[in-house]
């Protein structure tokens, strides 16, 4: 997108057809009227008017603007909860400076989803300033959640199929994720509450005796759906460090990402997520994440695993680990064992690491493992 | 015997106290009025907190010993008084004609639009 296109207002889509155009530019964005000189006209301009949702949007959309005050997308409660559990002290100005410099750029206000493209994609108006009631799936949702969701979902990783919900049904994000998921949520991470959506919301016929051998009480009680139905590896990130360079520019570095598939112990076991086994993804946090700013700013780093609970968006009915019993049983490499974990992070991951003796054993009375799609081929 | 004229004290005059009271009331009113005057300029009221400032706001809350996310979240968004207030928007005041004239003119935008200088550290590395 050219720079001029990013700020081009579409007369037809916006000025003529969008009710929001009845509100003047300056009412939301400020600036100086009565001049056609560029610099002067832009004096006092607020580019992201909805950074203050109550002021920009609350006049007409009060409930949504109120919801934005605690929205995970805007306030980043997930980051805050995890860092607080790692001992991050949000009353300490050193810590909050580090957090503010490096962790808050991912937040999204109303306009970031309904009017503009994410800054990760270079920003710019999505549709000539038309205020889109439904955000653009690939530009908006995918613009931020590309590496760990969209690429999985659309099958962009070589050798790993996309999600059956996309490939067979063409389902977009909002088909499963409700408006509430986007707009509200004042506590914790997206995994703090009951699964939303839950697979069984639609697949309510998945029950013992439904004709699928593995859908017995034991399997359904012991593992979440993705453990069996994720179709392959998904992205894990490693080694995030932050700093400010000699030009006073904030930066971060990360180690190369890896495609991983690891089954581990459930770190978030609860009544709502009762399973013993879930999939785990490595988060990039490191004990010295904020070492540039001070010593020991995450004193309880080990309180939260770096291999975290995850629900990859690459589900398929038949997968490499569920094609036969022995595609999973006895397959040690599928499970997160101590050798998979950096020694410096083993303490943090004690609760999710699988002891070798706990890996389900090979079933000698069952068929050999097969590669999905190749069964019966000669 | 002729009584001596009464030399009534000036400070015992009721007029003096009445005048003094009025002066005090007027002075008090003059003192209080500026405090109840107009709000700061609109641009100050409309100031939007950048993320880094948001974090600073969290830091200012000294009452949190073990921050809970909900508390942090609440503090994070308590940036300005205006954020909790809605303001009905009034159509086209002041005039946006110049804004629209330029931002709907492809040729003019191609001539004038500039990509903000990318500020990326040479030390930045990796995905994210």
More confident site: B11 or A302: A302
Cα distances from A83 to residues A299, B6, B63, B74, in angstroms, run: 10, 85, 18, 16
Listed residue (A127, A115, A25, A44) closest to B98, CA to CA: A25
Q: Is the pLDDT of residue B2 over 50?
A: no
Residue-level pLDDT, tens digit, chain A, 378 residues? 899 999 999 999 999 999 999 999 999 999 999 898 999 999 999 999 999 999 999 999 999 999 888 888 898 989 999 999 999 999 999 999 999 999 998 889 999 999 999 888 889 999 999 999 998 888 899 999 988 899 999 999 999 999 999 999 999 999 999 888 888 766 778 888 888 899 999 999 999 999 999 999 999 999 999 999 999 999 999 999 999 999 999 999 999 999 999 999 999 999 999 999 999 999 999 999 999 999 999 999 999 999 999 999 999 999 999 999 999 999 999 999 999 999 999 999 999 999 999 999 999 999 999 988 775 544
Q: What share of chain A is helix, strand, coil (3-state, %, to 5)?
A: 35, 10, 55
3-state secondary structure of A257: strand
Q: What is the pLDDT of residue B116?
A: 80
Predicted local distance difference test score (pLDDT) of residue B118? 76
Across the interface, of A22, A55, A107, the residue whose CB is closest to B83 is A55
- Give me the residues paired with residue A335 across strands: A263
Residues comprising chain B, all counted: 128
Highest mean pLDDT among A310-314, B59-63, B72-76: A310-314
**Which residue from A23, A100, A257 is facing B51, i.e. has the nearest CB?**
A100
Best to test chain B binding among A4, A76, A85, A146 (most B CBs inside 10 Å): A4
Instruction: Give chain B positions within 8 Å (CB) of A24.
Output: 90-96
B39–chain A nearest CA distance, Å:
16
Nearest CA in chain B to A105: B51
Q: A237–B56: do the CB atoms touch at under 8 Å?
A: no
Best residue of B43, B80, B88, B99 to probe chain A, by most A CBs closer than 10 Å: B99
Q: Is the pLDDT of residue B90 over 70?
A: no
How close A325 comes to chain B (CA, Å)? 37
Of A298-302, B27-31, B100-104, B118-122, give the lowest mean pLDDT range.
Answer: B27-31
User: Higher pLDDT residue, B41 or A310?
Assistant: A310
User: Do residue B72 and residue A80 have CB atoms under 8 angstroms apart?
Assistant: yes
pLDDT at B7: 53
- Record the pTM: 0.80
Q: Are the CB atoms for B69 and A81 separated by under 8 Å? A: yes
CA B20 to the chain's CA centroid: 36
- pLDDT-derived band of residue B43, with 50, 70 and 90 as boundaries? very low
CA distance A152 to chain B (A): 16
Residue B32 pLDDT: 55
Q: Do B102 and A41 touch (CB under 8 A)?
A: yes
How many whole angstroms separate alpha carbon A61 and alpha carbon A111? Answer: 13
Cβ of A91 within 8 Å of Cβ of B65? The answer is yes
Cross-chain Cβ contact B91/A22 below 8 Å: yes
CA A195 to CA A181: how far, in whole Å?
Answer: 11
What burial class does residue A171 get, using C-beta atoms within 10 Å of its C-beta: 0-12 exposed, 13-18 middle, 19+ buried? middle
CA nearest neighbour of A161 among A375, A378, A372: A372
Q: State whether residue A210 is helix, strand or coil.
A: coil
Contact residues for A112 (Cβ-Cβ < 8 A; gap 6+): A48, A50, A118, A119, A140
């Amino acid at each position: 997108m050219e720079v001029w296109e990013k700020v081009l207002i579409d007369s037809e889509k916006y000025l003529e057809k969008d009710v929001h155009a009845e509100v003047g530019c300056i009412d939301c964005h400020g600036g100086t009227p009565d001049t056609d000189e560029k610099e002067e006209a832009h004096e006092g301009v607020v580019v992201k008017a909805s950074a203050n949702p109550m002021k920009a949007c609350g006049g007409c959309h009060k409930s949504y603007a109120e919801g934005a005050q605690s929205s995970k997308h805007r306030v980043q409660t997930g980051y805050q909860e995890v860092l607080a559990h790692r001992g991050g002290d949000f009353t300490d100005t050193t810590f909050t400076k580090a957090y503010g410099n490096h962790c808050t750029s991912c937040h999204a206000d109303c306009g970031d989803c309904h009017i503009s493209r994410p800054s990760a994609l270079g920003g710019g108006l999505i549709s000539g300033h038309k205020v889109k009631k439904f955000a653009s799936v690939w530009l908006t949702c995918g613009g931020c959640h590309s590496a760990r969701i969209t690429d999985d979902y659309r099958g962009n990783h070589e050798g790993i199929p996309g999600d059956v919900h996309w490939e067979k049904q063409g389902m977009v994000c909002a088909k499963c994720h409700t408006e509430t998921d986007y707009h509200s949520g004042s506590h914790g991470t997206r995994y703090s509450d009951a699964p939303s959506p839950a697979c069984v919301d639609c697949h309510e016929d998945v029950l013992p005796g439904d004709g699928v051998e593995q859908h017995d009480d034991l399997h359904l009680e012991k593992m979440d759906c993705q453990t069996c139905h994720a179709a392959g590896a998904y992205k894990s990130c490693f080694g995030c460090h932050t700093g400010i360079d000699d030009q006073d520019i904030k930066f971060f570095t990360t180690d190369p990402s890896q495609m991983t598939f690891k089954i581990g112990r459930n770190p978030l076991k609860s009544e709502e997520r009762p399973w013993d086994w879930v999939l785990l993804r490595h988060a990039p946090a490191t004990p010295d994440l904020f070492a540039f700013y001070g010593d020991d700013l995450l004193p309880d780093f080990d309180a939260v695993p770096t291999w975290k609970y995850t629900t990859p968006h690459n589900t398929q009915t038949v997968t490499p680990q569920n094609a036969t019993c022995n595609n999973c049983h006895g397959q040690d490499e599928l499970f997160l064992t101590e050798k998979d974990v950096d020694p410096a992070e083993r303490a943090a991951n004690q609760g999710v690491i699988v002891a070798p003796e706990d890996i389900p054993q090979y079933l000698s009375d069952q068929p050999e493992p097969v590669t999905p799609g190749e069964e019966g081929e000669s | 015997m002729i009584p001596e004229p009464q030399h009534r004290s000036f400070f015992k005059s009721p007029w003096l106290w009445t005048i003094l009271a009025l002066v005090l009331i007027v002075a008090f009113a003059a003192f209080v009025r500026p405090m109840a005057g107009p709000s700061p300029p609109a641009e100050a009221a409309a100031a939007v907190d950048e993320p880094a400032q948001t974090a600073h706001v969290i830091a200012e809350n000294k009452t949190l010993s073990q921050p809970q996310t909900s508390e942090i979240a609440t503090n994070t968004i308590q940036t300005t008084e205006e954020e909790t207030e809605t303001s009905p928007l009034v159509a086209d005041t002041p005039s946006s004609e110049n804004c629209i004239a330029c931002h709907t003119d492809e040729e003019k935008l191609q001539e004038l639009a500039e990509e903000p200088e990318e500020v990326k550290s040479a030390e930045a590395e990796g995905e994210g």
